[in-house]
Structure 1
Amino acid sequence: MPNDTYIINAKNITKYFGSVVALDSVDFELEDGEILGLVGDNGAGKSTLIKILSGAQLPNEGSIEVFGQPANIKNPRDAFELGIETIYQDLALFDNLNFTENIFAGREFSRRGVGRIFGFIDGKRMQKDASNRIKNISINLPLLTQKVKQLSGGQRQAISIIRALFWGQKIIIMDEPTAALGVREAAKVLELIDETRKHVNGIIVITHNIEHIIKIADRVFVLRNGKRVGDITFKDYGNGLDDLHNDIVKLITGAEMIDYKA
């Protein structure tokens, strides 16, 4: 695969915590247009890799390119300006605020004129702007005035994704988006992720649920003990779903090291 198809191309990413090697010379790629599943046992290095890509941690070694350009991601603001949005498992939503207020949290519109001087927030303008800008997004949304604490887990995920799309982010990283959800809510979130791919350049999904990642992803990237141990592109996989599931488990547990990537 030529490098110009990568929207993230990380090389030799290494991270130490004291004497512990959390990531050991990991090469990581995200291809334009794909949903990538990032899997591995607890302690495999998934969270560390994502924190480096999102600017929450700095690598000890390695380089990162985003959209073909060298990227110096020192903090979350750098990642945001590069078009990378990370949706953590806790979603970072404000329960007592509504949909619109959560979308604009930290970026509120001030009222014009004297209202701007005193920092008054223009709620009506924010609601109108939110309504206009989400018209083309085919995602089931709650009422714009409904408080987050009244929403289901799937609706909360929708708000987090919409917030990323609203601010023009092109790469979305999702940390365990279906964790702690029931079967029906999880299915809705998977549909939501699949719909989201139409509006962004790429999505990374961290999960322990192999069945879910097989349903929505184009490729799976496996870490074990801080090392890259496997990479399976689903369209190039010739066997059935049961064998695919088993091969992913083998990579995660260390029973086998394989690479089906073309």
Structure 2
Amino acid sequence: MVHVRSTPLLALRGVSKRFGAVWALTDVELEIHAGEVVALVGDNGAGKSTLIKVITGVAPADEGVIEWNGRPVRITRPRDAQGLGIAGVYQDLALCETLDVVGNLFLGHEIGRTGILDEVSMERRAGELDLLDTLSIHIPSVRVPVASLSAGQRQTVAIARALLSEPKMLILDEPTAALGVRQTIHFLDLIDRLRERGVGVLLVTHNLGDVKAVADRVAVLHLGRNNGFFSVPTTSQEQIVSSITGATDNAVTHRDRAAEGAM
């Protein structure tokens, strides 16, 4: 379900980011609509991680405009992104291994008052989450320490925690890297359900099989610049790979479009 004529949920216009003298991103464009899965792909060092940091406010953009539902917004810290409804699950998962599953699910958003945690309410809420069984990964108890869980089980906890806030947009950074074949299939089914609920998904991955299975569009980064936007149903894997490696140059920058509009 791709909404090409609607206002994008998130739009990046001519976004650039540098670290010292090095430009990690130059004039990057990106659009994600509600109910759309966009795959962000590129070789190592292409700028994918930096772009995630820009969107989430970890490393604010130096140039360009970010729009949310058609209106310019400032994302200068993670709280700004969270306030808009942007959540993420990253490769390091950001879990506290000494806490149990419940503690990780509600970390930073604990239920309670007057300084006392309501452990019963949090455990009840965790038990109501079918997400913990969505990937067919059995978690023996929501009270076991995360340190005792497998990589796939930890991934499930991280995803469930991100979805607790009912985000409008979800960033998934290499989400199937630690999952087996069966678990990956169930995870891709979860992405389909998120799309049906109107959540915009940015899927950052090296796995073109996952891209073909679930993404609506592909945005390619090469050396910190756009190098192509493709519709998944009408684009071959060879075309995407060629764009990733830089064998073909499909870059159209914000400045190019502005110049065309002035003619």
Q: What band does the TM-score fall into relative to the shorter chain?
A: 0.7 to 0.9
Partner of 2:146: 148
Q: Which residues of 2 match residues 77-156 of structure 1 at below 5 A?
A: 77-110=79-112, 116=114, 119-132=115-128, 134=129, 139-140=134-135, 142=139, 143-156=141-154
TM-score, with normalisation over the residues of structure 1?
Answer: 0.85
In 2, Cα distance between equivalents of 1:222 and 1:66: 21
Structure 1 equivalent of residue 17 of structure 2: 15
- Listed one character per residue, the Cα deviations across residues 31-56 of structure 1 (whole Å, up to 9, x for unaligned) are 22111110001111111111000000
CA–CA distance in structure 2, aligned partners of residues 92 and 137 of structure 1: 17
What letter is aligned with 2:196?
K
* Contact in 1 for aligned 2:217/2:232 (Cα 8 Å): yes
Matched residue type, 1:246: E
TM-score (norm 2): 0.85
Percent of aligned positions that are identical:
42
Q: 1:68 maps to what in 2?
A: 70
| Local SS of the residue matching 1:6 | coil
Q: Is the 8 A contact 2:131 2:160 kept in 1?
A: no
Structure 2 gaps, min length 5: 252-263
How many angstroms apart in 2 are the aligned matches of 1:152 and 1:34?
Answer: 30
Q: 1:26 to 1:16 in 2, by over 3 A?
A: same
Give the drift of 1:200: 4.8
- Alpha-carbon shift at residue 97 of structure 1 (Å): 2.2
Does residue 1:248 correspond to 2:237, yes or no?
A: no
Please tell me whether the aligned partners of residues 36 and 198 of structure 2 are also in contact (alpha carbons under 8 angstroms).
no
Asked whether the equivalents of residues 34 and 168 of structure 2 are also in contact (C-alpha less than 8 Å), the reply is: no
* Counterparts of residues 94-243 of structure 1 (less than 5 Å): 94-110=96-112, 116=114, 119-132=115-128, 134=129, 139-140=134-135, 142=139, 143-235=141-233, 237=234
Residue 92 and residue 136 in structure 1: after superposition, are their counterparts in 2 closer, same or farther (change >3 A)?
closer
**1:139–1:195 contact (8 Å) kept in structure 2:** no
What is the CA RMSD across the aligned residues, in angstroms? Answer: 2.2
Distance in 2 (CA, whole Å) between partners of 1:138 and 1:71 is 36
Task: Tell me if structure 1 keeps the 8 A contact 2:11–2:67.
Answer: yes
- More deviation, 92-101/58-67: 92-101
Q: Please tell me whether the aligned partners of residues 42 and 48 of structure 2 are also in contact (alpha carbons under 8 angstroms).
A: yes
Deviation per residue, 1:57-112 (Å, 9 max, x gap): 0111001111222211010011001000121101111223222211111221225x
- Could you tell me how far 1:220 is from its partner in structure 2? 0.8
Residues in 2 aligned to 1:130 and 1:70: alpha-carbon distance in whole angstroms: 36
| Secondary structure of residue in 1 paired with 2:112 | coil
Name the SS of the counterpart of 2:108 in structure 1.
coil
The offset of 1:27, in angstroms, is: 1.1
Residue by residue over 1:123-170, the C-alpha shift from the partner in whole angstroms, topping out at 9 and shown as x without a partner, is 1011123334x3599825734333322333232222222212211211
**Which segment drifts farther, 148-157 or 15-24?**
148-157
Give yes or no for contact 1:154–1:186 (8 Å, CA) kept in 2.
no
How many residues get paired? 245
Deviates more, 1:79-88 or 1:161-170: 161-170
Whole-angstrom distance in 1 between the partners of 2:71 and 2:165? 21
Q: Partner residue of 2:45?
A: 43
Q: Tell which deviates more after alignment, 211-220 or 190-199.
A: 190-199
Q: Aligned with 1:144: secondary structure?
A: coil
CA distance in 2, matches of 1:200, 1:159: 22
Q: Tell me, which stretches of 5 or more residues in structure 1 are unaligned?
A: none
Residue equivalent to 1:257: 249
